[in-house]
Every structure is written in structure tokens, then in C-alpha cells.
Structure 1
Amino acid sequence: MYSIIDIYFRSPIVRTTENFNLESVLKEVSPNLSEAPKKPPADRVVFIVSDGLRADAFFEIHNNKSSAPYLRSIVEGVGSWGISHTRMPTESRPCHVAMFAGFYEDVSAVTTGWQENVVQFDSVFNQSNYVLQIGSPDVVKMFRSDHVESLYYEPELEDFASADPSKLDGWVFERVGSIFAKQNASDEYEPIRQKLRNQKDRVVIFLHLLGADLAGHAYKPATQAYRETLNYVDQGVQKLEKQIKDFYNDDGRTAFIFTADHGMSNRGSHGDGDPDCTRTPLLCWGSGIRRGDEPIGKKVIDSQSNNDRQAYDKEGDMMKKQWRLDIDQRRDIEQADMCALLSCLLGTPIPGNNIGTVPVGHIDEDDFSLALHLFANARQMLQQFQTKELVKKTNTSPRFFVPYGAPLSIGHEHLVLDGIKNHIRNRQYQKAQLASLDLIEKAKQGFDYYQKYDWTFLMSVVTLGYIGWMLYLMCFILSHYTTVKQEKLNKMTSIFIDVFTVIAGCALTAYLYANFAAETFYAYCFFPLVFYNQIFKQSSLLKNFLKNVSFTSLSVTVLLCLIGLEVMVYGYYRRQIFSVCFLLVGIAPALIVDMTFQSRFGWLVACIFASLFTLSDVSLQSNSLWVVVGGAWIVLKQLIWNNYTESKRSKSQYVLFYVQLFLIGASSFIVYSTDASLAMKTGLPLFNQYASILITLTSALLPLLSSNHYKVRIQSVFMGFAAPMILLSVKYEVLFYSSLEMFVYNWIKREVKARESSSGVGERAVQHQDVTSAMFYIFLFNVGFFGTGNLATIASFELGSVYRFVTVFAPFVMTALLLFKIIIPLISVTAAYGTLLRVTRAPQYGGFFLVLALLNVMTINFFFLVSTEGSWLDIGNGISRFGIGNAMIIVLLVLLGVSQVYTHNVEKTDTSNNVKKIKRT
């Protein structure tokens, strides 16, 4: 599972030795220069981040007025504006790293938590003289240092149910007012005030405003509450700008940048690649900033990407109508470009791991200075490439090392750099800018080459490992759960296999050692050796199996399994394919040939209902009415179902049944009551919070007391997890859960009827039909995962799901609850599959090992479908698919253990009453 990090997402951070800014490259271009270098465009930058603010909400006109009138006046007047395009994951930590360090943080670092820097990296803050940052503790603590002053509020104040999302922004603006006030200032801020006065240049004032993020999560971006939060920020920015200018006697040396770390989807969430999450506003004004209405002309080479240019052509007319702005003045940047922009404005060296490009369209400097800025950017990128090359060359045997290209390598770089210097000396500034941009692009490509240097070798080894694991599982199933006989292995053959394995292992070890490979590389190589050693020793099993099975039957089974698994892989890209599968299953002659008319009708209805949800729109707004209706439908359906079960319930079982129904009804009431309270902005009622926890725990334990008749137990398990599902739902998830239950019940009923000949005592051997059951289970497992969402929505959970349990920001608790919500349908489906295996006397572990072997086909697909190119939505989804494919294998074993708890005593008929009679006798 970890291989994706070593192959696709190894840390991009390298340790460079030299820094580059305008002053250093000016000496390089003109070594005999006697005059002093030009002063940086600004002495200080006030960097304001409105967390969770999407671009269209900032720029558009609503009811003929802007939600941020003051900032709008800057857009239409002195400011330079555009869109900052962020990348997945659209979360605060990686986005702030991109803005201040200039690179998109590797996945392994993001997974360890916001406050922890797995690898220390260079940033604009490191290169500055003094930094004052005020805001959320989750953000400002990431950039702590000796010369960084941090003010932050307590984490408990980050309450998503707060009636006033702007109170945290008010906390920040109050601190700014106290620090920059000239009269009646609080003494506790006097040391900060003195440092701000004493530091004459390279000062960063970073303000993090969380109000828009809280309002977006709690009330959604299209609401008045979200717009009111933006209006409050607008007033605060207007006031703080005046306070800061007064503090510095309006010396004209302050630059202001207003932006957001990420946006917010219509559902009130972020994290994925939704355009509303990746597009954030960018507004710059003040010292060193080019006016927005000033034509750029040919003298400046704009650093917009091709994607941005295409976006101009596609969206220009629409934005002119909605934003009422001159779109030709829009100057977009990539979020990592923000780091280079800050460095240029302050005159600080560009951070060593920056991959952004100086957005010269926003900088108000002459052609000569802009050419120097881009040249410094190119030098920084070239050094980063050369450092990466040196690291790879040092850690690779000279026999195997293949360099990227001589013109950029160490000792050859002067061929490129001298050309740019000559352009600048000859005052050919446009050519110098183009050459610098070309060098930046080539350095990025070369850096990417060494980042992917080990791909081919590692991907081959990991693929062999997956295939070996699948074959080993098949051998294990044949030897333990079938009647296929294994011939005794010849001693010399066994020794030969072991010797060959040792020789192969030594050869791989020598190769890896010569190339200074990481420890994980050895593991990737030795796992296949272990598997194939055992496979060759058990080859007689495979031979005897192939001898005793019809080639035609085996070929058809394998082909159908591969087609089915590939279709499910496609379902990760287009979830609507699951709906087609449901309809095909509903009318498949092979599945309904032995059914009565009543059973056929019930089967078809179950398939049709289940197919509706994978066709539904995943971006529908939250609506507690859907949840309440879903709860009522579950109660009604259980009452109807109870009349059709073929097992008579005892009085205690009827009591248990109605207690479970009561908990489902109580859960629906709590959802309605809590959402009404949140809508009135009175917060989460304490009684509702404790009741939700108690109902969840109680409801999950009650199925253990139900009858051991398989139909009653399946019903009880689904009812037991219906209550927490209701409490964690925000729209039609409960209706989906109910339709899934209906389909599973009909599937189990059909499978049991089709295998009536399996009655007897003890486990039987794995049969051909068990492959079909395993495929059905994999299908239902995936449907349970994607029933009410797609891969993108999984990465951007709707936080409204947890508001019946907690509203104060607690990432780990909220994540645990959301994962529990996702896993509820999987627990129920797994329990049903375990019940089927017990009732049909199939070996429990044999059935699950068969599922594990089949799942690897999907995982191998996802392994090769991961991409580091294209849109960031595609890249992020590729990571998620591979992670989910591997997680399925691991989670399946956990679910097996959970299902055993609920199904260990399940029988085809209810034996509990008979046992009681025997005891009484």
C-alpha cells in the first residue's frame, strides 16, 4: 500500500545551498557594477487569507451589489486581480504551504496532520526579517520560528454551530487594531509594536480569517450568512488598511494581498478538485503592484498557463455578465506562484523548493527589473534541478545512472545562463524573459525526470507482488477448502526452488545496495520472492485443478469475472455504471429462472430501487426532510417485512424488534430537532448530543440478542445500523441504505433457495457457485461505498453529517464519525455475505479469501491508473482509487471479524426455541 508514495509521490524537497534574489542576480549579470542595487518594490506585505472563500462569491454581483464593496472598489481601481488556482487536496495546510513555500506538499506529509512538518522546508517567512501572524492555531503554528510572532485563539472557539461565524475574524481584527493603534494601546502588544517599527524592510503581516470557512460549512456558500461574513471581512480589511498606513505614517511602502487558501463547494465542503474549491480570489494593491487598469502590453511576458488562457476564452462572456468586470484585466496565477510574488515584492530570496513562476503581470517594475526577477526565478529552479540530479547520481551506481540532459547538468549550465545574461546586458529584456521562462520549464521537466527515475523498476516489482499474492491465495484456497489433492514435492525440486529463490534474492540485494535503495525497496522485491517460492512448491495443486476442471467452464468463469471486475473499475469513474448493472441483474435469465413470480417481481423491484441512487446527483443540498422520510420508510418496511419472515418470533424477540424500531424513530426525531436548532443558530442541544451517542452504541449491540434464524438476523443487523446511519445522514442516504437492504434480502433469499442441496452438517468445499457469490459481494461492497456519492465527494465530506454528535472543530473525531458513516453499509453487506456462507455451509474464510483474490484485479488496475499529469482532480482521484483498492483488502479482514460477531450462530432455521424445549425437558 505504501508503494504509491515511493513511486508516484516521493518528497520533492531537496536541500539547496544558494539563494537568489534581484540583488544576487544583478551582481551575476554585471559583476563590476558600482551602483547600489535597486530598492525592492515594498518594505512590507500585508497578506490576508480568507479561509474557504471561493472566487465567484467574491467577484460576482448579487442583487445589484457586491458583498465586499470596498475590495470591489480596489478591483475596479488601483488593484491587480485575478484567480489563484489551487490544487488537491484543497485543505488549509497544503494550500498555505503552496502560498508561502512555493511547492505542493507531498501526500505523505499531508496525512500526518496539519501542525506537523514531516520535512522542514524553506519558506518566505524564513527569508524575511520579521513576521507577525494572527489567526487560527491550525494554520499559524505551521510556520513557527524565532523571528515569527504568532497570535492565535483557542481551538474550542472554532464551533461550526456558532450563531456568528464572523466572531473569529473579529478576534483577528481586534488584535490588529490593538497592535497598530497609536493611542490607548494595550501594553501587552508593545514588544510587537517595537519590532514592527524597528524592522525597516522584509516584514510580513499574515492574517488568517476563518469566518468564511465556518459559514460555508455550516450554512453553505449560496446563503446570506456566507455573504454577510464576506461583508464583515470587507469592512475589517478597510479598517485595518487605514490603521496600518497610519502606523507607518502612510510611507507608501506597504503592499496588500487578499486571497483564500481554498474555495467551497455548493455542498459546503472542500478537499476535492471541484472548481469551486480550486478557484480562489486574488487581489493585490499598494507598493510595487501594477494597477489593474494599466495595459500590460508586449513589454511583460505574462506567466499564465495554457489552461488559464483557455479558461479565459471559455468563461469570459459568462464572467463579464456575472462579475461585471473587464475580464481582459484578469491575471490568473497558480497558487504556488504566490510565493515568488511575495519574494519579489520584499526583495527576499525565492525559497529553495519553490516551483512557482514570478507573476510579473502583477508587479509594477521596469523591464530591466522584471527580467532580473525572472532570471532569479530561473536560477533558483535550475539549482533545484541540479541538486536533485546530484542526489540521484550520488545514490545510483555509475553503471546504471542515466542523466537527463547535458545543457542543464552541473558544469554545463553556463551554456544556458550566459545567453540570458547577454540578453539583459544588450537590453533585450523580452528575449531574456522568454529565455528565463523556457529555462524554468525545462528545469521543471528535468526535476520531474529524476522524481520518476525509479518508476519502471518499482512498478514491475510491485505488480509481480500483487500477481504473486493472488496466485498464493488461490493455492491456499485449493489446498484448504477444496478436494484438489497436492502431490508430495520431490526433495531435490524443493531444494532447487529454495536455492533459486536465494540466488534471485542475493542478486536483487546487490542491485539495490549498489543503488543505495531505500529500505522499502527491499520489501517490495522480497515479497514476490516469498510468494512465488510457495507457488512453485504448490504447483501440483494448480496442475491437478486444471486437469479436473472443464477448460471451457474455467475460461468462461475467468472471462466473466474479469469483465465484471473491469466494469466495477469503470464505476469508480462513472458511478452510473452500477445502475446499469442493477438493471441487468434484475432481468438476467440465469438469476430468475428458478424463482416464483412473486420472487421475480420482488427481485426486479429491489434492483430498480437500488439503481436509482447511483444515477442521482451527488451535489444535492442537505435536507433533513429526506432523512426523516427515510427513517419513516425504514420503520414501515420493517413492519411489512416482519409479516413475511418464515420464523415465528418469541415475545422477547418481538420486544427487541419494537425497541429497534423505536430507536430508528428516535434517531429521526433527533435529526429534525438538531437541524431546527442549528437553523435557529442556538447550537447543538446537549440532550440531543448524548442521546445520539447512546442510541448509536445501543442500536449496534441489539442485533446480538436477535433470533439465530438467518432472515431475522439479517433484518436485525440492518435495523441495528439504521439508527446511526440516520443520525449521520444529511439527505437521501437513509433511503439508499433501505434500498440496499431490500436488494440484499432478495439476493440472500435467492442464493439460499438455489442451494437447498447444500443442507447437511459441517463445512463443505468451495464450489463454482461461490465465485458468483463472491462477485456479488464485491459488487455490493462497491455499491455500498458509492451509493450516495462518487470518489470526489468521498474526499470532501459534508460536515453537516456529524452535527448531531459534535459541532466544535475536532478533526479526528469528525473524521472517525464520517468514516463510520461510510462503513455502515459495508458492515451490513458483509454480515449478510457471512450469513450466506454459513447457511449454505460454505467455508467462511474460504469465501473471504476468494473475495480477496478477486479484489486484487481491481487494485492492479488502480495502480496503473494513477497519474501525476492532467487535472488535479484526476490526480487526486487516482490516488484515492488506489488507496481505496488497497484499503478494501485490509478493511475486508476487519469487516470479516465484525461480521463473525453478528453471524457466528446463524442457522437456516430457528433453533433457539428447540434448545429451550430440550432444556425444559
Structure 2
Amino acid sequence: MHYKSFNIVSNNYSFVIWGLTMHLILLWGVLDVNFHSPIIQELPNVPILKNAPAKRLILFVADGLRFRTFIDAPPKYLKHVMTDRGAWGISHTRMPTESRPGIVAICAGLYEDPSAIFKGWKENPVDFDSIFNQSYVSWAWGSPDIIPMFTRGARDNIHGDSYPAEWQNFDIMHGQIWRLDSWVFDKYIDWLREDAHKYKNVERVVLFLHLLGCDTTGHTAKPYSKEYVDNMNYVDRKIEEVVQMTENFFGDNGTAYIFTSDHGMTDWGSHGSGSTDETETPLIVWGAGINAFNFRQNVEQVDITPLISALIGAPIPINNEGVLPWQYLSITNLKYVNHALLNNLKQLTYQVKTNRKMNCEDNGFADWREIELDNKISILDKDSETEDSNEKLKKIIDGIKLAKKSLIYFRQYQRKRFLLYLSVIWLGWITLLFFKISGVNRPIVNSFILLTTDCVFIAIVITIFITHKGCNNWRLPCYAFLATISSWLAIRSIIIVGMLCVTVVQRILQKNARNLFSWTALCLAVFPLLPVVEPYPRVYIIILSIYVVTVMVALKMQSKYRKAIEIFRLITTGLIYVEFIDGRSWISWTILLTTPLHIFTYSTQLRKRLQGIMLGLFCPLVLLSASYEPFFFIILALHLSCWSESNASSIQDYQSNKNPLTIEELLKAMLYTLLCFFGTGNMASISSFDPSWTRHFVTVFSPFTMFLLILLKLSIPLMLIGCTSHTLGSSNMFLGVLLLGDCLSLPLMYYVTPQGSWLDIGSAISRFTIAISLPCFIVLLHYLSYPLITFCPNKLKFYTNLKKTVLYKRHI
């Protein structure tokens, strides 16, 4: 018997550890799949282009300048450039429309690095290639949130400077609103006067001016305001001044200019989502090597990177996803345009090959897409100089389209494989959990069948590691291995297919239920319909609930000593709530921290112990309540008492009650758990609570302490449910809640995405995280409630004395 009990306990602990491991693996896996950096290091570089049309390029980025405001009242100089001197269009950004990902898209051709979520979206956690790395020398001036991304840890060819972070003040009433932009322009003019002569004949020079004024003004005065337009016109005048000074200094017509923005802005001064005002920004290009045309030519934001590279002849950054907008380049040298496009094709093809290899399939053989791209590049490289340039241009463009589609395909294919492995892992765990809570005994299966099953899975594991040998992407074989192990454990549990139909519906409602049960059930059904608890306390409702419980204690409790103690606790709690007594110093905390000791003084006879639990938890709940929460707790306690009275009458009876989980019990667990969340103001209390709710414990703002107190308040009804569930039947009851929560988290796993606005990304992560972690928290509360209903200090004292007596007799 001892060994049998030991084995049961060991199996339970093993099951709990395995379940916790599965939850952690799935949570980590979903985040890893969706937010793993797409940046690939050590890709080959395409060659430098000879005879580039521009020696240097100046990039102006007006942060937060939306296209609609710009085009409705275009500033004077840039309007002249659009109509007479250069090319222009809309640069379409991709969500999230924020400064950091927008600047990276412009300067590196790389969309948002989703792994930046683990650093709060503040910086790119992985080093990436950019136009500054590929230039001969670069200078950058602007915001301290942007410039360090490119200068931190960079080579000696990148120089940058930023103004103090304190200057980024959104209060336009203090200081000049153009201060940020004027500092940047002054820095460039200083460079032109002091250092530019050293690089007068140097090629592949990039100068980056990040102008934050429009963004700051838009957030405060809004993008339709006079201040916003004035800031835009100020930038326009300074750009005209910069261009004139630059042309006068160099005098070689070898400078190209690009003006654009990283993101737009809504009418109310926000950005980050995907509205047209946020995703449409102006793009104006003029100077050396530019094809002047007076019509709109739209591009994707990442297309600006290969455009910069083509203008100065620099290699395209290795992780660039953009396509060179060749229409912006001068058509007088179509041969150079073809060379630049061919470089773009080669650079995209390098990414296609590497992403295909990361799938770890048939590494010795190329995919048909890869073969076709190699053939196209080989033919284009061998083309004679006499071939028609227009025909060659069409072939290169077709190749680039194939490369873009192939790159998207291999990235999506890799993600689908990861999600498939995670789904198999999770389905295996759900299967094990189902059989655990169903209490079904597995039939005796022929040992030969089990041995065959084991051999098959061993062969699968060996095959996985052989096929993934030499694969650089170690994540794929690891997830595949875990999926195999999870499937193996599940299949050993379901060798007999008919076992899935063992659990049947027995009954939904109890027969011969008491009237109190029916009335309390109707009352509980009303609470989820009530409005969410407001931050302003309704003192009269709280005092009324204390009065009701006091009357119940006075009428129902037999022991005069215990009756006096309970009434004293209730009166003290009421005086604290009406602030007749200041409980912050020690009284409120004493009531809270002595609650378990108070409960343990009650008999372990289940009816009395549940009464003690209800009265013990009531006072702390009152001190944290603002409205009808105590009444919900009172009615819930009365309702649950109807369940417990029809079940076991002692702890010993409970401990022998190990029946399999039934559908009725599963419905109870789900119903009451949801009722606890939506009957007391719901989970919104955590994110929208008012500090006044915890005023009887702490008034100095302390987010961590306040959060724990509100979490305790939400947990108190669940603890009551957990204690009562120990008398309702199976000890596996709340594992059913875990099963249903895990089943819900499986489809939510596919809605987690690294694309879209930060709100979309954050909401998807939140839904999945809550679905996978909340059931675990509920089960944890269920097991933590076990000591409340079973612990007895008197029995502990008896066992201690017994042990001392035995030792004394042995000594004698």
C-alpha cells in the first residue's frame, strides 16, 4: 500500500512537471516563431557599381510628416522641385508606423524586426546592414532615439551626433518649436564649413539629417494646425539653404537629394496604426542621376534603400527587401540602370537561398525557384553588350518579381512548419490531460504492440536528426523532436481508439435541490449583468453587507465565544471602512495576514470549516471592495454550501473521494470560475483600478503592492470555489478548466502575428498569453486552497506529542 501511494504521488508530480514544461514550451515557442529576428548575418555582398551618377547623397527625413498635409499646401521650394527639377510620389509605409522601424526601412530596406518586442520596441536587438555600412563614409545628425541605432558599434566610416534627450519636449509653450530641426541643420552647415573639403572628391558619401520637429509639433498642436504647417515650411526653407550651400561648395553637380518621412500622423496627433494618414508619406528626389518627371510615382518605403545605393553606386544592404524604383533614375544611361537592377536581383536571391536552407529540407538539392533564379542571373550576366537594354530590363524585372515571391514563400513555409510542430506538441499534451481528468483506466495492451510503437517513434527521432544534419537552423529539429515525444506519450495513452468516448453526460442539474440553491443561483445570475465596479466606493452597500453577515453570525452560530470573535472582526472591519479607525498602520494588515490562522481554528468537519473559510475571507474582501462585491461573495458562499451539504461530511470522506471527473463536475468548475471573474467587476479591475480601492492598506502610490492586493481581491472568490470543489467530487475537477483553456489557446496560437500595428500585435499576444496562463493560475489556486480546508493545528500537535512519546519510550 505504501509503495502504491508513493507511485501515485510520483506520477502526479511527474504529470504536473510535464504539464508546466509543455505550457512554457508553447508560450516560448509561439513568441519564438513570430518574433524571431528575420535578419540573417554574413550574406554575400553585391559588387560596387562603377560610374555612379552621384558622389554623395543627402537624405532629409521629416519625422511625422504626413502626405495629406504636405500635398494640400506644399511648401514653396519642395513644390518647385516636384514640378520642375525632380521626381516625386507617395512612400507607403508598413505597420507599425513608428520612427524606429520607419527609419530602418528607409536606410536598410528592412521592415520591422519583430524581435525588438523583447526590448520594448526601443531598438533593434540584432545588428543589421544599412546604407551607412555600405558607404565609404557617412554622417548622421538627429534624435538620440534614432542616430545611435546606426552609430553604436559601427565601423569607423559612420559618424553621428544627437542633441540631448531632454530637448524632446512635447510642451510647445516652452522654447522654440523648431529647436530640434535647427540644431540638425546647423550641424550640417558646420560640417560643410569645417570637414567637407576633405571629402570633396570622395565617392559613396551619405549625409543623413533626421528632423523631429514635425513629429513633436504634430503630437502637441496636431497635424492640421498652423504650428505644424509652419514647422513644415521652416524645414522647406532650411532645405533650400542647404542645397544652395552644398551646390556652391562642391560645384560638380554630383549631389543627389532625397526628402521623405518615416511615418504620417492622424488628425488627433497619433501614429502606430494603419490608417492612410499614417502610412502615406511624401517622397521627393532630385539632383544627380534623377529622372525629372511631373507625375506621381509611388513606391514602398523599403524601395528607398536600393534607390540610395543605386544613386551613389554602393552595394545594397544584405537584408534589403526593397525593389529599386528604376523610374526615378535618369534614363540617359539605361545600361547603368540595368546593372543596378541586376545587383538588386542578386541581393534578393542570396536571401532566397539562405531562407530555403533554413528550412532544413534537402540541403543537397536546390528548390526549383532557386534554380530558376540562378539560371536567370547566369543568362543576364552573359548577355552581350549589344543586347537591347529595354529587353534586358524586362527580364531583370521578371526575375526580381520571382525573387520577391520566393522570399515570401520560404519565410511563410518556415513559419507554418514551426506552427505545425507546436500544434502537435500541444495536441499531445491535451490528449494526456484529457485521459488524466477522465479517470479512465487504460486496457492492458499487448507488449508487442507497445514495443512496435516505441520502435517506430525511435526511428522517427533518428530520422529527424539525420535529415537535419548540418542544418544551421537548430530550432526546427528541436521543435520536431518535442512534437515527436509529445505524440509518443499521447499515442501510448490512446492505443484503443474507443477510449475517446468513455466520458458521457450523466446529468446537468442536481435532483432534489434545496430552495436556497435555486434562489441563490438566480441571484448569482444577476451579477454579471451589473455594471463594472466603479472606482468610487459605495459605502452604504458595503456596510449593508457587513450588517447582513453579522446578523447571520448572530442567528446561526452556536458557539458564543466564536460568535463574539466573528462579530468583533466584522465591526472592526466596518469601522475601518467608514474610516472611523485608520487601518493602514497595522489593523487592516493584521486582519488580512491572520485570516489563515483564523480559518484553522475551525473544526475540520467540512460544514464548519467552509463556514470559517467564508467568514475569514469576507473581511479582507470588504476592505478591498468598492461596491457589490461582498454581496456576490455572500450569495456565492450560500450557494456553494448547498453543494457541500450533499457530499462528504469530513476530511477523511473527502480524501477517499477520488472519482473520475464527470461532465457535471466539469460544467460546475467552468461555470463558477467564469462567474467569479464576471460577477465582481471582472478582470478589467486589474488594468483600470483606482488607488482608492486599496486605501485601507496603503495610500502611498506603490504599483506592485496595489496590484497584488487587487489580484488577491479577485482571487478570494476563486479560493472559495477551490475549497468547495474539494467536497464536490473528483480532485481532478479543475484540471477540466485547464483542459478547456488549453483547447482555446490552440487556435489563438495562429492569431499571434509579428505584423500590423503595435495594438494588433499586443492584443494578439495578450489573448494567447491569458488563454494559456489563466487556467494554470486557476488550478494553482485550487491546490493552494487545499491546506485551508484540511490543515488542523490540533492534529499537528497530537502527531508531535505522539512522536515525542515514541522516542521517549525507545530511549527508555
State the TM-score, normalized to the length of structure 2. Answer: 0.69
Counterpart CA distance in 2 for 1:230 and 1:350 is: 35
Give the secondary-structure state (helix, strand or coil) at the position aligned to 2:129.
coil
Counterpart CA distance in 1 for 2:117 and 2:668 is: 39
- 1:90 to partner: Cα distance: 3.0
The answer to whether the 8 Å contact 2:622/2:630 transfers is no
1:820-859 matched pairs, under 5 angstroms: 832-841=717-726, 846=732, 849-859=735-745
Counterpart CA distance in 2 for 1:700 and 1:54 is: 55
Match of 1:380 in 2: 344
The AA in structure 1 aligned to 2:483 is P
Counterpart CA distance in 1 for 2:678 and 2:100 is: 31
Match of 2:231 in 1: 232
Match of 1:526 in 2: 481
Give the secondary-structure state (helix, strand or coil) at the position aligned to 1:238.
helix
- Residues 1:643 and 1:272: Cα distance change in structure 2 (over 3 Å): same
Counterpart CA distance in 2 for 1:701 and 1:497 is: 59
- Residues 1:889 and 1:228: Cα distance change in structure 2 (over 3 Å): same
- Residues 1:115 and 1:768: Cα distance change in structure 2 (over 3 Å): closer
Tell me if 1:93 matches 2:100. Answer: yes
1:498-897 matched pairs, under 5 angstroms: 499-513=455-469, 516=471, 518-536=473-491, 538=493, 546-547=501-502, 549-550=503-504, 596=519, 600=522, 603-604=525-526, 606-607=528-529, 609=531, 633-637=534-538, 639-644=540-545, 646-648=548-550, 650-658=570-578, 720=624, 752=640, 755=643, 757=645, 760-762=649-651, 766-772=661-667, 775=670, 777=673, 832-841=717-726, 846=732, 849-864=735-750, 873=756, 877=760, 881=764, 884-886=767-769, 888-890=771-773, 893=776
The AA in structure 1 aligned to 2:768 is G
- 1:121 to partner: Cα distance: 3.0
- 1:331 to partner: Cα distance: 2.9
The answer to whether the 8 Å contact 1:99/1:337 transfers is yes
- 1:345 to partner: Cα distance: 2.8
- Residues 1:382 and 1:844: Cα distance change in structure 2 (over 3 Å): farther
The answer to whether the 8 Å contact 2:516/2:642 transfers is no
Tell me if 1:152 matches 2:40. Answer: no
Q: Deviations over 1:641-667 (max 9, x none)?
A: 54246423624312443469999xxxx
Q: Deviations over 1:761-815 (max 9, x none)?
A: 55666553453355455799799999999xxxxxxx99xx99xxxxxxxxxxxxx
Counterpart CA distance in 1 for 2:593 and 2:677 is: 23
Give the one of 17, 20, 42 matched to 2:44: 17
The answer to whether the 8 Å contact 2:425/2:482 transfers is yes
The AA in structure 2 aligned to 1:19 is V
Counterpart CA distance in 2 for 1:267 and 1:822 is: 32
Counterpart CA distance in 1 for 2:194 and 2:643 is: 79
Counterpart CA distance in 2 for 1:822 and 1:268 is: 31
Give the secondary-structure state (helix, strand or coil) at the position aligned to 2:231.
helix
Give the one of 382, 385, 394 matched to 1:434: 394
1:261-300 matched pairs, under 5 angstroms: 261-265=262-266, 269-291=270-292, 294-295=293-294
The AA in structure 1 aligned to 2:132 is F
The answer to whether the 8 Å contact 1:647/1:709 transfers is no
Match of 1:333 in 2: 299
Match of 1:613 in 2: none
The answer to whether the 8 Å contact 1:15/1:387 transfers is no
- 1:10 to partner: Cα distance: 6.3
- 1:607 to partner: Cα distance: 2.7
- 1:5 to partner: Cα distance: 6.8
Counterpart CA distance in 2 for 1:659 and 1:896 is: 36
- 1:177 to partner: Cα distance: 1.7
- 1:147 to partner: Cα distance: 1.4
Match of 2:195 in 1: 193
Unaligned runs of 5+ in 1: 24-36, 182-188, 296-328, 558-589, 611-629, 664-693, 723-737, 790-796, 803-815, 912-921
- Residues 1:542 and 1:404: Cα distance change in structure 2 (over 3 Å): closer
Counterpart CA distance in 2 for 1:367 and 1:661 is: 88
Give the one of 49, 55, 59 matched to 1:47: 59
Aligned CA-pair RMSD:
5.4
Match of 2:140 in 1: 133
Q: Deviations over 1:526-555 (max 9, x none)?
A: 3334434444555599978954x43x669x
- 1:285 to partner: Cα distance: 4.3
Give the secondary-structure state (helix, strand or coil) at the position aligned to 2:185.
helix
Counterpart CA distance in 2 for 1:282 and 1:131 is: 21
Match of 2:241 in 1: 242
Counterpart CA distance in 2 for 1:372 and 1:190 is: 30
The answer to whether the 8 Å contact 1:79/1:283 transfers is yes
Give the one of 463, 470, 477 matched to 2:430: 470
The answer to whether the 8 Å contact 1:53/1:280 transfers is yes
- Residues 1:204 and 1:18: Cα distance change in structure 2 (over 3 Å): closer
Give the greater-gyration-radius structure (CA).
2
The AA in structure 2 aligned to 1:366 is I
Q: Deviations over 1:553-599 (max 9, x none)?
A: 69x99xxxxxxxxxxxxxxxxxxxxxxxxxxxxxxxx9x99754x97
The answer to whether the 8 Å contact 2:506/2:662 transfers is no
Counterpart CA distance in 2 for 1:75 and 1:191 is: 29
Counterpart CA distance in 2 for 1:202 and 1:660 is: 77
The answer to whether the 8 Å contact 1:835/1:906 transfers is no
Counterpart CA distance in 2 for 1:216 and 1:715 is: 51
- 1:699 to partner: Cα distance: 11
- 1:124 to partner: Cα distance: 1.0
- Residues 1:642 and 1:761: Cα distance change in structure 2 (over 3 Å): farther
- 1:95 to partner: Cα distance: 2.2
- 1:282 to partner: Cα distance: 2.8
Match of 1:28 in 2: none
The AA in structure 2 aligned to 1:528 is A
Give the number of equivalent residue pairs. Answer: 699
Counterpart CA distance in 1 for 2:419 and 2:98 is: 29
Counterpart CA distance in 1 for 2:119 and 2:625 is: 31
- 1:861 to partner: Cα distance: 1.7
1:152-231 matched pairs, under 5 angstroms: 152-158=162-168, 163-164=173-174, 170-177=179-186, 179-180=188-189, 193-194=195-196, 198=200, 200-215=202-217, 219=220, 221=222, 224=225, 228-229=227-228, 231=230
The AA in structure 2 aligned to 1:647 is V
Tell me if 1:447 matches 2:407. Answer: yes
Counterpart CA distance in 1 for 2:82 and 2:376 is: 45
- 1:71 to partner: Cα distance: 5.1
- 1:198 to partner: Cα distance: 4.0
The AA in structure 1 aligned to 2:406 is G
- 1:463 to partner: Cα distance: 1.8
The AA in structure 2 aligned to 1:330 is R
Question: Identity across aligned pairs (percent)?
Answer: 22
Match of 1:366 in 2: 331
Q: Deviations over 1:85-130 (max 9, x none)?
A: 2223333333222111112244235534667655433221122222
The answer to whether the 8 Å contact 1:5/1:107 transfers is no
- Residues 1:139 and 1:860: Cα distance change in structure 2 (over 3 Å): same
Tell me if 1:143 matches 2:143. Answer: no
